[in-house]
Amino acid sequence: MGESRRDFLRKIAIAGAGAAMVANPFGQAFAAGGNKKVRIAVIGTGGRGRLLLEHLLIIIKEGGNCEISAICDNYQPSLDMAVKLCVKYKSKVNTFSDYRKLLKDNVPDGVVIATPLHQHAHITIDSMNAGIHVLVEKSMARTLDDVKAMYDVHKQTGSVLMVGHQRLFSKRYLNAMDRIHKGELGEIGQVRAYWHRNKNWRRKVPKDKPELERQINWRLYKEYSAGLLTELMSHQLQVANWALEQVPVSVTGTGSIRYWNDGREVNDNIAAIFSYADGTQFIYDSMTSNKKYGCEEQIMGHKATMELETNKLILEKPPKPKPAPGIAQLISDIKKDTFQSIPVGGASWAPETALKYNGEPIYNSQKGDGTKEELLGFVDCIRQGKNIDWVTAEGYNTSIWSLLTEQAIDTGQKLTMPEKYII
Amino acid sequence: MNSRLDVVFWSYNEMDNFVATFRSIQQVVADIELKLSKFNPKAEVFQLNINQIGSHIEVSPLVWDNLYKCVEYNKKTMGLFDIAYGSSSKESYQLQERLHFDESNKIIGYKIAGTQLDFGGIGKGIALKEVANILDKDGVENAFVSFGGSSILTRGRHPHGDYWPLTLTDEDSQQDEVKLNHHAVSISGFHIRDGRKESHVVHPYSGEMRHRHQMVQVIGQCPVEAEVLSTSLMLAKEEEQQEILSRFEIEKIKMVPL
């Protein structure tokens, strides 16, 4: 049922720098997809869930052969906002506050799970055991054992299991990875990434319901989340693994609550170093009290660097500047024994050309961050009953190593992956 | 100078060492840039621009000689060619009123507060004059040297003709071929940035960037004077143009009206 990374990349038809790609790569990835209308339910309609829901509603509006069968949240204000969104897109929808009832009564073809992290595992496992395909937001689960259990149930049931690393579906990232894997950057020595924000990550709790603090601000409590590691770093660790076509062999890290000392339990700044078998290092940091450097992944080879978030390729040896058009013509004329005028001063004439090299774009035709393409891919996977195994493995390994990073920070130890989690 | 330098040499003499000549050119251009830059803190012009009124800076012969020349050009162009500007566009001084040359010590200071020098309108001409000296010294007979396409120096001829054929085109694509041998060409016009025309010559009296011509192309012998003329004539009224032109020796001029 699976599909290899190479097959996927080949079918997705990435031709190289600046090459045009099809609007929906999965339209080509899965030929003759059939006409079945795919029924999708969204479980968890907080901020991320509503974003995913809106993407689905747009896909439907644009003629995507799917429908929203139901939405579910146990926090009524979030559910109400999601209903409003459906109304905006003229989509009738069933609502649930208990996902088990949704799975039993609505029986969708697939569920998109965007609940707090600690709820991912049991909802995912229950869904797959009910024969329902799953797109679960990253990271997969709060514990290593839950991540493994989700993967095992996916293998046992044959249900599609996709983890919400949307960069995997971004044409820019697909283009970049194809070029990286073909050696355009040379030997990669280091990958660096960071995600810096300057906000406290705390959401407003209704004054009359202080008991909702942990439910609403679940990202800040270790019972529910590993904070920056599972919510931000996991995206970029996945990119590093993807670029290197490896998983780490060890991780070490550190972290603290340095600035937002407001009762939260998760660190507000962290740093980690991942080592890979070939000697490559992935150096990562994240903080929430300074946003100057923003978010970036830097893939550094001996020939070039790619900065993926800002769409830049920077060659180690900048290309030699081409001569001005008139000079180029003069040189060509001399070589061809031709005697003709050298044009200067015309409309296309550029009198000043600075010798500054700021790199070049990797790929310019990607709109958005890949989330829409990810959802299109999920719908097509359901329609075909076909899992993309390496995409599942990317999500799995990233989740495992994100949680190992938490342990490394908490224990101060350099950790490797326990054998029982190796797939 | 924020500009590309293209050099084409040719010769039948295999003994000519064009690589060494080109390196000499690169070196002299870098040296001039280092002296005339208003952005590089090590440059003499930068140091002059941050100097206090009343104190003086020792300058190299290149800066000294060219500042002297600029005072002369300022007068010959009726003030339109001016490498100096002040802190306020309302104030207006002749260049000689702003500068104090201490002949005995070869030091220069500013007499007017807020004075700033900018060699942008003449720097490429100064560099091409030095390039010409290198070509002469190295015995290079045939060369086509271009600074960003707007400042050109030629020596000798094209390998397949008796001259270097240059077509000066304007917005309407009306072509006008000129035959260059031992010449300097300077072209001033709008800069095209993102498809838009941008003025870049500042009127020394009004402080406005208002061109009277779309393009001015000057062909002469001296690259410095070609630069001075192409810049100042962008701003000159008709009666001023004739007066200014009578004070310089040029071979050909083309002015494209707005």
Mean pLDDT split into 10-residue runs, chain B, 258 residues: 83 86 95 90 88 84 92 91 72 78 86 84 93 95 90 95 86 72 88 59 63 84 94 87 91 84
Indicate whether A175 and A81 sit together in one domain. Answer: no
Q: Is A326 part of the contact surface with chain B (CB cutoff 8 Å)?
A: yes
Mutate to test the interface with A, among B150, B163, B185 (most CBs of A within 10 A): B150
Residues of chain A contacting residue B173, judged by C-beta atoms under 8 Å apart? 346-347
Number of domains in chain A: 2
User: What global pTM score does this model have?
Assistant: 0.68
Average pLDDT over residues A96-115: 98
Q: Output the pLDDT for position A32.
A: 41
pLDDT in tens, A47-63: 999 999 999 999 999 99
**Amino acid symbol at B103:** E
Where do the structural domains in chain B lie, given as residue ranges? Answer: 144-257
Average pLDDT over residues A265-276: 98
Instruction: Assign A224 a pLDDT band (cuts: 50, 70, 90).
Output: very high
Indicate whether A110 and A189 sit together in one domain. Answer: no
Pick the more confident residue, B197 or A272.
A272
Residue A346 pLDDT > 90, yes or no? no
Instruction: Assign A35 a pLDDT band (cuts: 50, 70, 90).
Output: confident
Pick the CATH number of B144-257 from 3.10.520.10, 3.40.50.720, 3.30.420.40, 3.30.70.260: 3.10.520.10
Indicate whether A92 and A189 sit together in one domain. Answer: no
Q: Output the pLDDT for position A318.
A: 83
**Domain-embedded: residue A346:** no
For chain A, the average pLDDT equals: 90
- The two beta strands, A38-43 and A110-113, are parallel
Average pLDDT over residues A206-215: 94
Question: From the list B148, B170, B177, which residue is nearest A351 (CB)?
Answer: B148
Instruction: Assign A352 a pLDDT band (cuts: 50, 70, 90).
Output: very low
Q: Output the pLDDT for position B15.
A: 76
Indicate whether A122 and A209 sit together in one domain. Answer: no
pLDDT in tens, A360-370: 999 988 888 99
**Domain-embedded: residue A344:** no
B217–chain A nearest CA distance, Å:
9
Domain range for A71 is: 5-169+368-389
Q: What percent of chain A has pLDDT over 90?
A: 80
Indicate whether A251 and A129 sit together in one domain. Answer: no
Ranking A119-123, A406-410, B64-68 by mean pLDDT, the lowest is B64-68
Residues of chain A contacting residue B148, judged by C-beta atoms under 8 Å apart? 324, 350-353
Instruction: Note whether ipTM > 0.85 here.
Output: no
Instruction: Determine which helix (DSSP H) or strand (DSSP E) holds B41, and give its type and residue range.
Output: none
What CATH number does residue A120 fall under? Answer: 3.40.50.720
Indicate whether A134 and A280 sit together in one domain. Answer: no
Are the CB atoms for B238 and B158 separated by under 8 Å?
Answer: no
Residue A19 pLDDT > 70, yes or no? no
**Domain-embedded: residue A79:** yes
Buried b / exposed e over A325-361, threshold 16 CB at 10 Å, is: bbbebbeebbeeeeeebbbbbbeebebbbeeeeebee
Indicate whether A285 and A410 sit together in one domain. Answer: yes
Residue A227 gets the label, from left (phi > 0), alpha (psi -120 to 50) or beta, of left
Contact between B148 and A352 using a beta-carbon 8 Å cutoff: yes
Q: Output the pLDDT for position A312.
A: 96
Indicate whether A183 and A136 sit together in one domain. Answer: no
Residue A151: how many CB atoms within 10 A of its CB? 24
**Domain-embedded: residue A205:** yes
Instruction: Determine which helix (DSSP H) or strand (DSSP E) holds A98, and give its type and residue range.
Output: none
Q: Output the pLDDT for position B108.
A: 87
What CATH number does residue A220 fall under? Answer: 3.30.360.10
Residues of chain B contacting residue A335, judged by C-beta atoms under 8 Å apart? none
Among chain A residues, the shortest Cα distance to B170 is held by A346
- Give the largest Cα separation in chain A, rounded: 88
Indicate whether A245 and A280 sit together in one domain. Answer: yes
Indicate whether A268 and A406 sit together in one domain. Answer: yes
